[in-house]
Structure 1
Amino acid sequence: MVMLSLLPEPSMSWISSQKILNRRRLDKSSPGAATMRLGVIGGTGLINMDLTKRIADVGGEVIRTDDVHVDTPFGPVPLRCFSLEIQGVSHELIFLQRHHSSSGHGCPPHMINHKANITAMSQSNVDAVLSVCSVGAIASTFAPGKVGLAQQYIDFTGVATTFHDDESTFTSVTVPFDEEMNSVLEAVLRKVQNFDDGEILRYTYWLTQGPQFETVAEVDAIDRLGGEMVGMTMPREAKLARELTMAYAAVCISSNWAAGRDPADAGKALNHEDVSAQANDRLEPVWACIFAMLG
């Protein structure tokens, strides 16, 4: 089992990025080393759920849980690390709360330090990053409650997101998400949601600047330009992960109809608490995706 260098209280330990690096660089072929080290970026609902029962349901156990702190060149990032054993095989889950903040009140979407977050994942030497997002649905086939995948994204915000501010480096994002991951995730989502092969599961994510929700006119324009779901965060992560050649995929929970798209009430106002509650109610398919990635 790969273990952390710990302070006296392991459940609340805070360690340096160098110790994280030392831990992650251990040879995976050594006895007891983790065979999969999965980074998961999500919200508090996912991170605070009881993992012990879920692991037990798949024949495993949580060996230890550690809260750690990574100091990156772009700022500090808190992570929650789980060492797991499932059917005799060791794994690690590294959770990152996307909206973490020093105040504890949650960072608004337009202020998230994506460079620090993705750097922390990279420094942890994860094998892949699974991003979990709640989105507003534009496509009629993506009704609230359905869980799908990001196939493409459109970012017309005009805000650059890159590690390359000082040199000319151009990264291809023709295929912005890891196709091997998406293939595994699609099969799982079809199974757990009882969808046949004809059900659409892959959508195009339209990035808005936020923190306001969109107007009806904006959603209509986004629809005409190819956006099928709308959100305020994920493509920035995807761009940075691609610059670092990290395997990255996004599981998207349809938490609400986008503005003007609710068939029952086209004028319905959007409410953040309702959006979050719907997303938290649909975490079971997400956990199925996480376990599938662990193999």
Structure 2
Amino acid sequence: MKADFAIIGGTGVYDPGVLQDPVSHVIQTPYGDAHVTLGEYAGKKVAFMPRHGKGHAVPPHKVNYRANLHALKQIGVTQVLATAAVGSVKKEFRPGSLVLINDFIDMTKSRNAAFHEGENGVIHIDMTDPYCGRVRDCIQQVAKSEGIELIQGGTYVCTEGPRFETAAEIRMYAQWGGDVVGMTSVPEVVLAKEAEMCYATVAIVTNYCTGVSSTVLTHQEVVDEMKANIEKVRKLFFRVIQEGTGERTCRCPHALAELGSL
């Protein structure tokens, strides 16, 4: 049971007709079980992981991020393409936009954010390039060749959820330099780095955040906007997988070089 690439996202990202011979698996990890579907695309082994579990039943603050990322590591995944629904802090990041995230601000409160918790000494993982720049470059090139409009770079503010943010919080995030707000990128991106995987996120702007929009935010509009734009992300990800990303010349494979790997 092996895979080269993984796609993490909601059920809309994965189309059973895209992968050849898809098979569902439950992978046991030291942190619990994780569900993945394994198949093949363009000669590459691909794992799809529904972040919120089967049926999108697990809220963002309850997702077992450690089990999910450890499971991908166990089956040999080295490169992860993730997507997420986000709200926009800025008027210019309009609903329907795709944003290639390059940084984050962590506002989570109660999540298990590391694999290493002192058993091997104190480990401080470097976050200079949290979302792999090499893979982001590949995504940019594919988006350009496919004519897919993609905002190059954005700071993702990750909140605890599951509630939406207040207008005062959104004003604060804007002052801090946040561009979009979501509930899932942290600790996922951090754990991917600890696992020495290359990780990149394309966020789908589903709405303007509270206080930016003149209307009340509903969960349904988030779902509707995701459905309307997920095909572009799916096309983008599978084209990246088809073309490959070349040699892993980034620092991701050596993130724990001084400390010993996971």
Question: Is 1:79 equivalent to 2:10 in the alignment?
Answer: no
Question: Is 1:152 equivalent to 2:108 in the alignment?
Answer: no
Match of 2:26 in 1: 69
Which of 161, 175, 178 is the aligned partner of 2:129? 175
Q: Residue 114 of structure 2: SS of its match in structure 1?
A: coil
Asked if the contact 1:66–1:82 (Cα under 8 Å) also holds between the matched residues in 2, the reply is yes
Query: Aligned residues: percent identity?
Result: 30
The 5-angstrom pairing of residues 267-282 of structure 1 reads 268-282=215-229
Q: Residue 68 of structure 2: SS of its match in structure 1?
A: helix
CA 1:200–1:67 in 2, change beyond 3 Å: closer, same or farther?
Answer: closer
After superposition, give the CA deviation of every residue in 1:244-287 in whole Å (9 maximum; x if it has no partner).
1110000100111111212xxx2x22111220121121112212
Which of 165, 180, 183 is the aligned partner of 2:117? 165
Q: Residue 259 of structure 1: SS of its match in structure 2?
A: coil
Match of 2:53 in 1: 100
Higher relative contact order (CA 8 A, sep 6+): 2
Q: Residue 239 of structure 1: SS of its match in structure 2?
A: helix
Tell me the distance in 2 between the aligned counterparts of 1:290 and 1:240. 21
Q: What TM-score, normalized to structure 2?
A: 0.85
Letter of the 1:179 partner, please give it. Answer: G
Match of 1:256 in 2: 207
Runs of 4+ in 1 over 6 A off after TM superposition: none
After superposition, give the CA deviation of every residue in 1:47-82 in whole Å (9 maximum; x if it has no partner).
2x3434xxxxxxxxx431101110011111111111
Match of 2:152 in 1: 201
TM-superposed deviation, 1:192: 4.0
Q: Residue 154 of structure 2: SS of its match in structure 1?
A: strand
Asked if the contact 1:154–1:205 (Cα under 8 Å) also holds between the matched residues in 2, the reply is yes
Q: Residue 51 of structure 1: SS of its match in structure 2?
A: coil
Tell me the distance in 1 between the aligned counterparts of 2:168 and 2:192. 32
Q: Residue 7 of structure 2: SS of its match in structure 1?
A: strand
Asked if the contact 2:142–2:240 (Cα under 8 Å) also holds between the matched residues in 1, the reply is no
TM-superposed deviation, 1:207: 0.8
Asked if the contact 1:141–1:200 (Cα under 8 Å) also holds between the matched residues in 2, the reply is no
Tell me the distance in 1 between the aligned counterparts of 2:147 and 2:106. 29
Letter of the 1:260 partner, please give it. Answer: G
Tell me the distance in 2 between the aligned counterparts of 1:189 and 1:261. 28
